[in-house]
Structure 1
């Protein structure tokens, strides 16, 4: 048997929906902040590039800034090139292992440790946590696949609905003790 997209001879690739569902994401809410911890493929350097470099972000994230997110200052982000921009101002960085930036009305804090990302999402309404947690789990599974050497395309926006987003959202709503609400309009 020849090598498949996993790069391992004789193995079957894990489909992205299984990878999304099984990604080891720990989620909790503290005050108005969603805290996500995820074990993920990649070195600290690879993860830093993945969360700061616009070309890398465009491969897996809904946050695609108009400049690298490596220095404090203004930035704009678009999920897709035709979208209206949202604020992505960098508020703080610490070496190549911590980044805090805006994402519209939310604030994103990223902490990198070898093989792990800790993400804090400051939300304007904590009831949104179920939506953010589900969306980020989808995106982080794509990043994990890419850093594992797979040729996985980005899954953002309404496309996530076809990859288990709704089931994740419902699970997070239950975990957080939030009302089980329908997906927000696109």
Structure 2
């Protein structure tokens, strides 16, 4: 049985100016002074943080986050708050990270707040931080860190936990439509293959069943750019559009829209497309 109490649910909150704050709490099995060392000493930071950081954080210091060539270019940030041993905050590119610690018996309650602009990327960030914070705890307790792919099942659990699996209804010049945005865990080529199955989509032809919601009677394909775009007529409402962008870099970012006919129930259409997207998302980690 785990000696630590179960952490409270991780959560998203609006942060103003179109930004989102991800808040995560973990009990680390070490006193605050040791946790502080792991937050501020570069040789310890390298044991759990997603990048090597130089120099050691000091008030107002300019930081450099070093990555391998395969991971991407280095980025920079600035220390914005530092109060040993309870608070460290700094920018990381356009994002903000805040680590607040408090004694929890012989252990430390560590609260991470990550503020960013990509709301639908939150599950990727949460899955990554989940692994980082587990590695931090392992580092300070001398346990072997268990490496888990943050882009698979863990990512999908955070999609549900953080409420990122719902769609919206929007109204534009062409009338109402439903919209889903979802970070996926595999690249666009893999997602396209899952959607197409054994069929090869052709302009003017029918869309493969994977691109349609249950019970739909789709019209012909009107736009096609594999593996990024497929649109088809949706009589009598208008069109369905599948777009696969780059997202967080962990996989493709799906944006799906479907026009609504005046007589249609938006909740029913939302539910039908949610079922289709959930089935797709459940299939991808195994591919």
Residue among 125, 132, 154 paired with 1:168: 154
Matched, 1:111 2:97: no
**Kept after mapping to 1: 8 A contact 2:36/2:84:** no
Matched, 1:142 2:144: no
Superposition CA RMSD, Å: 2.6
Matched, 1:26 2:14: no
| Alignment correspondent of 2:164 | 178
Q: Which of the two has higher C-alpha Rg?
A: 2
**Kept after mapping to 2: 8 A contact 1:62/1:78:** no
Q: Structure 2 unaligned runs (5+)?
A: 15-19, 166-181, 186-247, 251-287
| 1:134 shift after superposition | 0.6
Number of residue equivalences:
160
Q: Considering fraction of residues, name the structure with more strand.
A: 2
Distance 2:90 2:40 in 1: 10
**Kept after mapping to 2: 8 A contact 1:25/1:39:** no
Residue among 35, 42, 49 paired with 2:30: 42
SS in 1 for 2:59: coil
The verdict on how the C-alpha distance between 1:76 and 1:139 changes in structure 2, with shifts beyond 3 A counting, is: same
Greater RCO, CA 8 A, separation 6+ = 1
Distance 1:52 1:113 in 2: 16
SS in 2 for 1:128: helix
TM-score normalised by length of structure 1 = 0.75
Q: Deviations over 1:38-72 (max 9, x none)?
A: 11111101111111111101111113211111322
Residue among 70, 73, 77 paired with 2:58: 70
Moved over 6 A (4+): none
Q: Structure 1 unaligned runs (5+)?
A: 1-13
Q: Deviations over 1:130-172 (max 9, x none)?
A: 111110111111111121222448x5xxxx42xx642221111
Q: Considering fraction of residues, name the structure with more helix.
A: 1
